[in-house]
Amino acid sequence: MSAADTPLNPMNPAAPAGAGAPPAAAPEFRARFAHKNYLNAHYGIMSWLLTKDHKRIALLYLGSITLFFVVGGAYAIAIRLELLTPAGDLVQPQTYNKLFTQHGIIMIFFFLIPSIPAVLGNFLVPLMIGAKDLAFPRINLLSWYIYLVGGVITIWALLNGGLDTGWTFYVPYSTNFSNSYVVVAGVGLFITGFSSILTGLNFIVTIHTMRAPGMTWFRLPLFIWANYATSLIMILGTPVIAITLLLVAMERVLHIGIFDPRLGGDPVLFQHFFWFYSHPAVYIMILPGMGVVSEVISTHSRKNIFGYSFVAFSSLAIAVFGFLVWGHHLFTSSQSVYAGMIFSLISFAVAIPSAVKVFNWTATLYKGSISYSTPMLYALSFIGLFTMGGLTGLFLAALGMDVHLTDTYFIVAHFHYIMVGGALSAYMAGLHNWWPKITGRMYPEGWGRFAALVLFVGFNLTFFPQFLLGYMGMPRRYHAYAADEPLWQVLNVMSSAGASVLALGMLIPAIYLLWSMRYGAFAPPNPWPATGLEWRTLSPPPTENFATTPIVTWEAYEYRPVEEMEVIGAGDVRPVQPMGGTISTSDS
Amino acid sequence: MSAADIHLTEADAHAATALQHHFDNMEQQREAGALGMWVFLLTEIMFFGGLFTGYVIYRMYNAASFAAGSHHLNVRLGALNTVVLICSSLTMALAVYYAQTGSRRNQIIFIILTMILGATFLVVKAFEYADKFEHHLFPGLGFQWTEHLPPGATVHGVQMFYWIYFAMTGLHALHMIIGLGIMAFLLYFAWRGRYTPEYHAPVEISGLYWHFVDIVWIFLFPLLYLLGAHLH
Amino acid sequence: MQIPLPKIDLPRIPFTPEQASTLAGHVDALYLYLVAITLFFTVLVVVLIFYFSVRYRRITPDEIPRPNAGALPLEVMWTIIPLLIAMTIFVWGASLFFALYRPPTDAIEIFVVGKQWMWKFQHTEGQREINELHVPLGAKVKLTMTTEDVIHSFAVPAFRVRSDVVPGRYTYVWFQATKTGRFHLFCTEYCGTNHSGMIGYVEVLEPADYQAWLAGGTSESPAAQGERLFQSLGCASCHRMDAQGRGPMLTGVFGKTQKMTNGQDVLADEAYVRESILNPQAKIVLGFGSVQMPSFQGQVTEEQLLNLIAYVRSLAAPQQGGTAGAGQAQGGTVTTAAPAAGSTTTTGVQPDTQRSNPVGATSPRRVVPPGRTTPSGGGGARPPR
């Protein structure tokens, strides 16, 4: 494969600054090759393990969450294989219970929650606001280590006996009945929680205090707004799940009756505690995705986002309302009817900001200059799938409907439309959109588009039938399902077939992205071109991001011809000061 | 010495060594540090908030048992500890003041005083805990309640009170221990004359943490110790 | 308060379970409404995306479209319209929910105990079954449910009903079957290893067949079993029938509000009776503060508790009668025929009971305790003789 396979040149019209076509840009290439960037500033394993550079930490996260994603994906494949036939004939029931529990735990706590914030957010937040790094670089590195320690402990629990409580840890099953490694896994997740708290803290402080001159709140890219809202949820919600897991561990070890009705405890209280975090956690997963999509839609249609402030404030509205709706997970849990009504009402209210975003994205396309690049394809499919996922959420917010649908495959389909169709599509969109910035190389556009299509088809084939299965009554977390319902098997086979297409759709990007890191065409500073500050530095950026602190004089998403968008420090190939030099001085 | 070198020429030498490479100036660095601590304290509020919610709900279910359990706590020791912590907040505030005004000697004196008061608190707490263990009042490990149960109170309810008591005061004590660690760290650098009127952010933000931990106790004391006052 | 639902006749929609209860049609109607909304908005968004993507595709590589300025009226429009639509769904969903979770007072009552991994049912007539539940066509059936171990969830998709079954609590589900046949019954709250095996069938029988089926059993009614337990556990020595016992007299207590030592008013319902057996010190009736009743925690199973509750309930006097009603229950024989006229539930044939409600009325071994607040459908709906 050569650079000719990558139809980039049309995207890259302005040779003078951006340097697209190889012959004209040969000197540029050499210059870029020579420039000191965050990747070649230091070599050796320790330079990565002890780095305080937010961009390197982002890559450490990228590597680790990819590993966890592969493990979680393998569990998913096993689940879909088991469900090919109604009888539970592939694995033992106990094994199956561990499969779906571990799939959920790994995908939620170790992939989805850190995915966009810890990888793209870490990489982009300082770049987008014109800062040299996050406010607390050492805390940033610490949060990766905490994530890793939590991950290792959890994986250890999963390998040595596994966990069979479901990712929801419902008591009293988890405290008094399960024979699996609940306490160890709980400790692992407890620790991982601090990683997410520290990331959120870092983002909030960075966004408040480290914006470049002229970067006012309403000039911030919407990705920053989304991450800000996400960070609020992380710092306010995560401690509650931490304390909840602590209580579960205490109850399991000491049997003091915290959640045991025989000793005066209340098992439903656990569900309130759990969902007080875990519902907002859903927004931790989707809000950054919405931020990515705002960026990508704007960049690849060269239009400023329609209704910028509405999109920005809807992120905050989602974060705030998100804390008030946890009770909609408890409609059938013997919660009072009136509590159910209030939670239902607020749940409908929280749907509105999401709808506002969808309409604004769609309106952004109007009279734009729309390119069919890979990130754009992912972003457009995000809008469609998220719309489906969001609207099916209305089914579940409606009290009388939820009674029939909760705990069935309808739920499974709904949250996969949000989590996979939404968050994962957005993650892929973001990864492709910023891949040139992260690695300094272009990914192969043709393969990218193909994979996006495969993913879209595979996804719908996997999860659409589950809506139907759910309404027909198939319960979730079932190792074997009714054999006297012929349609159930048909739909399950479709779903399993879709899962294999989906797996292929993930495998292709894994291959070509790895390939492109070595063989991809060199990326100019601003390949699309886009307006954010991150595109006004070199690709890949130097260690401290900008040669000189940028001064922002333009509004967000102000598209101009490329030659007018100067690259701050372009051509400046002076070696950037190695970041390691500051370790001794800043060690107070 | 790299990024910091550049600033060396433009800023006071003392402050420059304290300025981390990614901040533009000391003001920004101080602001970031303080905001970081405030955000962290928000997290802490939610952390304790979970337990406070548990307390409120279970006290609603077991009001009489909570009163009975609370009655057994030593109000005198609790009050003593409250006074000790309020005093430690004062000494902490003075330590911050002397860091701001640049008195190394007074800084050190008040950090040491704060540490002594913090340690006093923990010692008193340890005696209280020992007493509870002696009376088999630790939930889960052979919990026994031999005293009178007022109408409506149950042994389960009292045990419920005691796990909340241990969880809340234990978590608080853990924060005190971490606080003492931070104080030791401050003491070391204060000793070396690190904190000046230009650079004393660590003392300030540690002060925020210390005051927060004290305030948590101000809530814990009445909620845990004073429920049984009417039972005589 | 029971919100009456209008009768609804919907054809069966593809990819939905059978509509076998009076509620099913209503849930399906709401479902159709929601599907229509989903389709409308999804198609709207997708069509717009496709149209814009084609119409405004990038022609020349360096084109810069004119920036858009936003439009407040549009923003307001697409905030308000979805909000209004959402509110219609909310109102519809909430009113259905009220109907679902407010059991009618004239229903047949069946006790359900969930247990890893089976469903145990007990009919008021004494029939017990496991993983199979027989109910009569057209009668309102109310399930009073609890669990011996973890949380389960009782779901019958064909009836569109579901409720979690929570340890230490009683939860309720009610339905009125409109079709005979066998319908799936699932546990839908993950409950451990064999969760997917905690399934069964609800078998809806013609009323006559149901009677025949009931007659096939030999076991005692829950209330009668409860009475024996009441004697054997020694409850009767303190809770005497003549107000001379150390504990409060239980006659005429169930369903009434009682004054407690701490001044609270507590409704003596299933949950209260249960708490008083397991945790007697929690709420003590005024005047009995000095009595130390022992706890029966660990000595009675969930099923025995339900039997005891059935017995205590059978002692309840007619609504207006305090001591007079109690007098009738002297001796505690549950089979004492009582004048049903005073009972709250003897409302005659309800207007919305389409089918006459013969269930149980002719059952030879049927126990009709005096003045039950929620008797079996047949007993309650039977017109006064």
Tell me the pLDDT tens digit for each residue of B77-124: 999 999 999 999 999 999 999 999 988 999 999 999 999 999 999 999
CB of C279 less than 8 A from some CB of B:
yes
C90-111 in b/e burial notation, b at 16+ Cβ within 10 A?
Answer: bebbbbbbbbbbebbbbbbbbb
Residue C180: pLDDT over 70: yes
Strand partners, C112: C121, C145
- A-chain residues near C167 (CB < 8 A): 172, 261-262, 267
- Give the pLDDT confidence score for residue A553 in this predicted structure: 87
What mean pLDDT is reported for chain B? Answer: 88
Contact B2 A581 (CB under 8 A): yes
Residue from B148, B154, B155 to probe the interface with C (highest C Cβ count within 10 Å): B154
To the nearest whole percent, how much of chain C has pLDDT over 90? 43
How far from chain centre, in Å, is Cα C142? 5
Condensed to tens digits (0 to 9), the pLDDT of residues C213-238 reads: 988 876 788 888 888 888 888 888 88
C104: CB partners within 8 A, 6+ apart: C2, C140, C142, C174
Contact C262 B153 (CB under 8 A): no
A415: CB partners within 8 A, 6+ apart: A282, A389
Residue B157: closest CA among chain C residues belongs to which residue? Answer: C282
Contact B46 A204 (CB under 8 A): no
Contact A367 C57 (CB under 8 A): no
Contact B49 A239 (CB under 8 A): yes
Condensed to tens digits (0 to 9), the pLDDT of residues A66-96 reads: 999 999 999 999 999 999 999 988 999 999 9
Please name which of C226, C107, C89 lies closest in space to residue A347, comparing C-alpha atoms. Answer: C89
- Give the pLDDT confidence score for residue A23 in this predicted structure: 41
Condensed to tens digits (0 to 9), the pLDDT of residues A168-223 reads: 999 899 999 998 899 999 999 999 999 999 999 999 999 999 999 999 999 999 99
Q: Judged by CB atoms within 8 Å, which residues 58-117 of C form the interface with A?
A: 58-59, 61-68, 70-71, 74-75, 78-79, 82-83, 86-87, 89-90, 92-102, 116
Contact A267 C155 (CB under 8 A): no
Instruction: Give the DSSP letter of residue C295.
Output: P
CA distance C284 to chain B (A): 7
Residue A313: pLDDT over 80: yes
Reported as a pLDDT band with limits 50, 70 and 90, residue A41 is: confident
Residue from B20, B22, B175, B208 to probe the interface with A (highest A Cβ count within 10 Å): B22
- Amino acid present at B171: L
CA distance B168 to chain C (A): 25
* Nearest-5° Cα angle at B32, B29 to B38: 145
CA distance A365 to chain B (A): 38
- Give the pLDDT confidence score for residue A21 in this predicted structure: 38
CB of A544 less than 8 A from some CB of B:
yes
Condensed to tens digits (0 to 9), the pLDDT of residues A415-464 reads: 999 999 999 999 999 999 999 999 999 999 999 999 999 999 999 999 99
- Give the pLDDT confidence score for residue A569 in this predicted structure: 56
- A-chain residues near C163 (CB < 8 A): 332, 334, 403
Residue from A38, A138, A201 to probe the interface with B (highest B Cβ count within 10 Å): A201
C261: CB partners within 8 A, 6+ apart: B151, B152, C284, C285, C286, C287, C288, C289
CA distance A348 to chain B (A): 26
> Chains meeting B at 3+ CB pairs closer than 8 A?
A, C
- A-chain residues near B22 (CB < 8 A): 131-135, 137, 210, 544
Give the residue ranges of DSSP H helices in A44-92. Answer: 45-49, 54-82
Reported as a pLDDT band with limits 50, 70 and 90, residue C263 is: confident
Residue from A42, A55, A209 to probe the interface with B (highest B Cβ count within 10 Å): A209
- Give the pLDDT confidence score for residue A568 in this predicted structure: 66
- Give the pLDDT confidence score for residue C3 in this predicted structure: 57
- Give the pLDDT confidence score for residue C343 in this predicted structure: 36
Are the C-beta atoms of residues C288 and C265 closer than 8 Å to each other?
A: no
- Give the pLDDT confidence score for residue B19 in this predicted structure: 82
CB of C305 less than 8 A from some CB of A:
no
* Nearest-5° Cα angle at C92, C77 to C95: 140
* Nearest-5° Cα angle at A307, A305 to A312: 85
CB of A247 less than 8 A from some CB of B:
yes
- Give the pLDDT confidence score for residue C363 in this predicted structure: 38
**H or E element at residue A573:** none
- B-chain residues near C282 (CB < 8 A): 152, 154, 157
Contact A235 B43 (CB under 8 A): yes
CA distance A352 to chain C (A): 6
Residue from A167, A318, A332, A362 to probe the interface with C (highest C Cβ count within 10 Å): A332
Condensed to tens digits (0 to 9), the pLDDT of residues C3-57 reads: 566 777 778 888 899 999 999 999 999 999 999 999 999 999 999 999 999 999 9
CB of C347 less than 8 A from some CB of B:
no
CA dihedral sign, ordered A551, A554, A559, A563:
negative
Tally of CB atoms within 10 A around C250 = 25
Q: What is the mean pLDDT of residues A50-72?
A: 95
Contact C162 A307 (CB under 8 A): no
Are the C-beta atoms of residues B103 and B200 closer than 8 Å to each other?
A: no
How far from chain centre, in Å, is Cα C377? 14
Residue A134: closest CA among chain B residues belongs to which residue? Answer: B22
Residue from A399, A487, A489 to probe the interface with C (highest C Cβ count within 10 Å): A399
Reported as a pLDDT band with limits 50, 70 and 90, residue A562 is: low
Pairing between strand C108-115 and C140-147? parallel
Name the residue among B22, B42, B46 with its Cβ closest to that of A133.
B22
Q: What is the mean pLDDT of residues A509-530?
A: 91
Q: Judged by CB atoms within 8 Å, which residues 165-194 of C form the interface with A?
A: 166-169, 171, 184, 186-194
Contact B2 A588 (CB under 8 A): no
What mean pLDDT is reported for chain C? Answer: 79
d(CA C99, CA A42) in angstroms, rounded, equals 68
Q: Which of A108-122, A483-497, B17-31 has the lowest mean pLDDT?
A: B17-31
How far from chain centre, in Å, is Cα B69? 24
Q: How many beta-carbon contacts under 8 Å exist across A and B?
A: 144
Condensed to tens digits (0 to 9), the pLDDT of residues B171-207 reads: 999 999 999 999 999 999 999 988 988 889 999 999 9
- A-chain residues near B194 (CB < 8 A): 588
CB of A504 less than 8 A from some CB of B:
no
Name the residue among A261, A356, A481 with its Cβ closest to that of C79.
A356
What mean pLDDT is reported for chain A? Answer: 88
To the nearest whole percent, how much of chain A has pLDDT over 90? 76
Order of strands, edge to edge, in the sheet holding C140-147? Answer: C128-130, C118-123, C108-115, C140-147, C171-176
CB of A105 less than 8 A from some CB of B:
no
- C-chain residues near A359 (CB < 8 A): 74, 78
Structure tokens at C253: 């207590």
- Give the pLDDT confidence score for residue B23 in this predicted structure: 87
Reported as a pLDDT band with limits 50, 70 and 90, residue C317 is: low
- C-chain residues near B157 (CB < 8 A): 282
More confident residue, C165 or A41: C165
CB of C284 less than 8 A from some CB of B:
yes
Q: What is the mean pLDDT of residues C294-303?
A: 83
Structure tokens at C45: 């968004």
Contact B50 A578 (CB under 8 A): no
Q: What is the mean pLDDT of residues A131-150?
A: 95
Residue A14: pLDDT over 90: no
Contact A257 B18 (CB under 8 A): no
Contact B154 C284 (CB under 8 A): no
d(CA C240, CA C326) in angstroms, rounded, equals 12
Residue A358: closest CA among chain C residues belongs to which residue? Answer: C45
- Identify whether A535 is preceded by a cis peptide bond (ω within 30 of 0): no
CB of C281 less than 8 A from some CB of B:
yes
Contact B39 A255 (CB under 8 A): no
Q: How many beta-carbon contacts under 8 Å exist across A and C?
A: 296
Q: Given the structure tokens 């099916």, which residue do they identify?
A: A392
d(CA A237, CA A280) in angstroms, rounded, equals 7
